[in-house]
Each structure stands twice: as structure tokens, then as C-alpha cells.
A and B are shown apart, each in its own frame.
Chain A
Amino acid sequence: QSVLTQPPSVSAAPGQKVTISCSGSSSNIGNNYVSWYQHLPGKAPKLLISENNRRPSGIPARFSGSKSGTAATLDITGVQTGDEADYYCGTWDSSLSAGPVFGGGTKLTVL
């Protein structure tokens, strides 16, 4: 059971927009920045978004993040077949066992 809650799967046709949600609490998302990672099978995970909405160099503007209260969202516009992957949100959790936490991951299927 992950500390952060994500939908197990989402799907979209090429060119469409998809939204992936990430829900937490005041001990994690509510008081800390959120990051998003893309994980292609057999590859190293890749940082897509940091500090809720900052894209590292080289990440297309099609990927955007936002946060409101204890929830965060990753939007992917103009979905491409190469975007088919698992997506994870992550943040710091300040509870008794403080440390980084991740969501359970969301599998994006491009139809």
C-alpha cells in the first residue's frame, strides 16, 4: 500500500490529453514539493517534473505538473506512442518515519 494514491491505469489516443492524479496528505504533498517520474520498461526512471511544476532541461513542454492542497496532477498533452510508460509521483513525507515516498504508479496506455 503506497503512501501516495495514483490511478493504476489511464489511456489516451495519440494527440489527446491525459491527466494523472496523485493524492496524499498534509504530512507529504500538503507541505512538500511533488516530483513526477517516467519509467519505461527495462529503462532507468526519468525525472519529468520537480518542485510541483518545473521541467528539467530536455523535458518537452507537453509534460506539466500542478499541485493544490494535498493533491498533485501530471498533464500530458499531445500524447505520443513513445509516452506509453509507468508514471510515478513522489514527495517527502514528514511523518514519524520521515523520508521520500512514491505513489503506486500509473500505467499510461496509448490507444
Chain B
Amino acid sequence: EVQLVESGGGLVQPGRSLRLSCVASGFTFDNYAMHWVRQVPGKGLEWVSGLSWNGDNIGYVDSVKGRFTISRDNGENSLHLQMNSLRPEDTAIYYCAKSSLIDLGAVFDYWGQGSLVTVSS
């Protein structure tokens, strides 16, 4: 059974940093690209960032470029999102999502339960 478990969310002040993590199990982690998708409460889904199976191909939504960094540790079956210079508009539930592809694409076949990030003073 595929499981994706996020951690690291919480309340943080504007301008500060937070690191999200996602531990994966139930599949061969280094065979698939992985992504972060967020949902502002009451709003729709928004892709945030993704990286290929080996981390060579990385993408970010424009609004987080230069502030967020995605990474993976295939030895630990984990995905991370380093979020710096956080803004109130980054407040959202952040989902870890598994791709059905080895490289970046737009099919997410498994999702975690999400981790809430609240940016507020």
C-alpha cells in the first residue's frame, strides 16, 4: 500500500522559514517524480513544485521561485520542501504527491493527507 506522510507544518511569522518533509512507502521511491501541491483553505489546488526521479529536472510555480527549494533523498525515501521568506499568501495545506511518471508531468496517482502551513504574525 502506497503511503505518503507529510510533516513539518505549523504556524510561522512572515519572512521566516519552514521545512516540510514527506516520507514515502509502498513503492519504489526512486522510480518516480514527486511533487508538492497546495490548497489555500476554501480554494482550489495549486501545483507548487516537482522534481524528477533523480532530482535533475526541477520545476516551481512562479510565485515561489527563489524562495522555495525542493529536494529528495532516495536513500531515505523522503521528499522535502524548504520554504524561505514565507508570506501570508503561502498559507495553505501542502500535499505531497507521487507522480505516475519518472520525470516531471501532471499525473498525481497518490497523495498524502497534507500538512497545514499558516503564515501569520
Binding site for B on A (CB under 8 A): 2, 32-33, 35, 37, 39, 43-47, 50-51, 56, 88, 90-92, 97-105
Q: How many residues of chain B are within 8 Å of chain A by beta carbon?
A: 26
Contact partners of A102 in chain B: CB under 8 A: 44-47
Q: Cβ of A35 and Cβ of B44 under 8 Å apart?
A: no
Q: How far apart are the CA atoms of A99 and B95 in the complex, in Å?
A: 17
Q: How far apart are the CA atoms of A44 and B93 in the complex, in Å?
A: 11
Residue from the set A88, A92, A99 with the largest chain B CB neighbour count within 10 Å: A99
Contacts A44-B95, A44-B113, A99-B50; is A92 near B105 (CB within 8 Å)? yes
Binding site for A on B (CB under 8 A): 4, 35, 37, 44-47, 50, 59-62, 95, 97, 100, 104-114
- Tell me the dominant secondary structure on chain A's binding face: strand
Which one of B61, B109, B111 contacts A99 once the chains associate, using CB atoms below 8 Å? Answer: B61
Which one of A39, A50, A88, A104 contacts B109 once the chains associate, using CB atoms below 8 Å? Answer: A50
